Amino acid sequence: MKVYRIALAEFSNKLYATGRAARWNSRGTFVIYSASSRALACLENLVHRSGEGLSSLFKTMVIHIPGNIDVKEITPGSLPSNWRTFKGQRITNTIGDNWVRGGDSVVLKVPSAIIPEENNYIINPAHPNFEQIEIIALEAFMFDERLSSQ
């Protein structure tokens, strides 16, 4: 399976987890976010960057997750109705943190809070199978300038 991550060019040469809090992890829990498509990766960046810094140099990381890798899945139907809200993020943080601590799989498939019918893939770099996941291509990426003029 291929998944995608758009990152600043200077940070695109390896899979790196910052430990910053996000939808599916709390601060200090190290995970790598990726998306099922380049378009979703773009939207996720746009939402989280709030239009700032979109003129920087970016790369699309094309990431290969081998078919023999176990992927745990969280579906929208298994989540409370408020999971997409700011308050609901506490619930998703707990789910992600517990998944990392449990070590059941190296990848967690989750619905996107932007488009719940689309999926993001959270990668646990501390899992023993992480070594099997690799960047197979780096592609130049530029945000369309109209995206920053909201």
Task: Give the pLDDT confidence score for residue 52 in this predicted structure.
Answer: 61
Task: Give the pLDDT confidence score for residue 57 in this predicted structure.
Answer: 86
Task: Give the pLDDT confidence score for residue 146 in this predicted structure.
Answer: 77
Tell me the C-alpha distance between 65 and 120, whole Å: 13
Q: Which two tokens stand for residue 125?
A: 């770099």
Tell me the C-alpha distance between 14 and 87, whole Å: 32
User: pTM higher than 0.85, yes or no?
Assistant: yes
Task: Give the pLDDT confidence score for residue 47 in this predicted structure.
Answer: 85
Which of 2.50.20, 3.90.320, 3.60.15, 3.20.170 would CATH assign to domain 2-148? Answer: 3.20.170
What is the DSSP code string of the chain? -EEEEEEEGGG-SS-------BTTB-TT---EEEESSHHHHHHHHHHHHTTTTTTS-EEEEEEE--TTS-EEE--GGGS-TTTTSTTTHHHHHHHHHHHHHHTS-SEEEEE-SS-TTSEEEEE-TTSGGGGG-EEEEEEEE---GGGG--
Task: Give the pLDDT confidence score for residue 144 in this predicted structure.
Answer: 79
Task: Give the pLDDT confidence score for residue 53 in this predicted structure.
Answer: 67
The tens-digit pLDDT sequence of the chain (150 residues) is: 999 999 999 999 999 999 999 999 999 999 999 999 999 999 998 887 765 667 678 999 999 999 999 999 999 999 999 999 999 999 999 999 999 999 999 999 999 999 999 999 999 999 999 999 999 999 999 887 777 654
